[in-house]
Structures are given as C-alpha cells and as structure tokens.
Amino acid sequence: MAADLKGLRVLIVEDESMVALLVEDMLADLGCVTTARAGRLAQALELVAAGGFDFALLDVNLAGERVFPVAEALTVQRVPFAFASGYGGEGLPERFRSTPVVSKPFRIADLSAAVSAALARHAITTPQ
C-alpha cells in the first residue's frame, strides 16, 4: 500500500459502472477511501460543489460529454485531480496538458503513479 495515499478521500467521476467499481477497488488497495461517485457531468458538478474529498479522478468522456467543466471547478476549489482516458493525454485542452492522465485499461501501478503525481503537482502549485 502506498503510505502517502492512506486515508485519501476520493471522488470518482466515471460513466461506466464496472470501471468505477474496478477503480474504487484499486484505490482501496492503495489505502484510499472513495467518498463519492458520479457518472454524469451535472452530478459530478454537484458533488464538487458539496466537497468532502481530497482528490478526484475524472474520466474525460462522460456519456458523450467532456469532463472539463468539472476540472475547472476543481481548479477553482484547489482540489487535485487526474484524468482517466482510453486515449491518454490526446484531446486535453492546453490548460490541462500537464495534468496527470491514467490510461485505460487501468493498472494499479499507473493509477498510484497518477494520483501521487497529481498530489505532488498540487503541493508545488498551491500557495501555503
């Protein structure tokens, strides 16, 4: 288990239920706690507004809608996040090109690395 991820509260934004469950299990294996899941853009925006998590994993494509409004909201709230995509970093807006991306299909090592990279990036860019 990655000690630096122990107890990390996570929002999973993923439209495929089976993928969301797989990711939730992988995150649990890393010591994280999934506090909320969203499968649609509007639901994800509501959950971001409500808070209660330390990190978010965002599927780029939610049933045909792009997740970037959620990424914008998380940026405003200074919550670290990473993207998940079957296309890697392809198609990310310039603003989010430096955001970690976990490629699908998921591997736990890649997920752990992306979460850790997003948290490290956030620590560097967030004023203390």
Residue 22's CATH number: 3.40.50.2300
Range of the domain at 113: 3-125
Domain count, the chain: 1
Dist CA 13 CA 2 (whole Å): 22
Q: What is the pLDDT of residue 127?
A: 56
The yes-or-no verdict on residue 69 having pLDDT over 70 is yes
Answer yes or no: are the C-beta atoms of 117 and 10 closer than 8 Å.
no
The yes-or-no verdict on residue 3 having pLDDT over 50 is no
With tokens 């993928």, the residue in question is 19
- Across the range 111-127, mean pLDDT stands at 83
Higher pLDDT, 117 or 91: 117
The yes-or-no verdict on residue 120 having pLDDT over 60 is yes
Residue pLDDT, tens place only, 10-58: 999 999 999 999 999 999 999 999 999 999 999 999 999 999 999 999 9
Where residue 86 falls among pLDDT bands split at 50, 70, 90?
Answer: confident
Residue 90 CB burial class (10 angstroms; 0-12, 13-18, ≥19) = exposed
Residue 45 CB burial class (10 angstroms; 0-12, 13-18, ≥19) = middle
- Across the range 54-68, mean pLDDT stands at 95
CA 50, 56, 57, 61 torsion: positive or negative? positive
Q: What is the pLDDT of residue 121?
A: 84
The yes-or-no verdict on residue 1 having pLDDT over 50 is no
Q: What is the pLDDT of residue 125?
A: 65
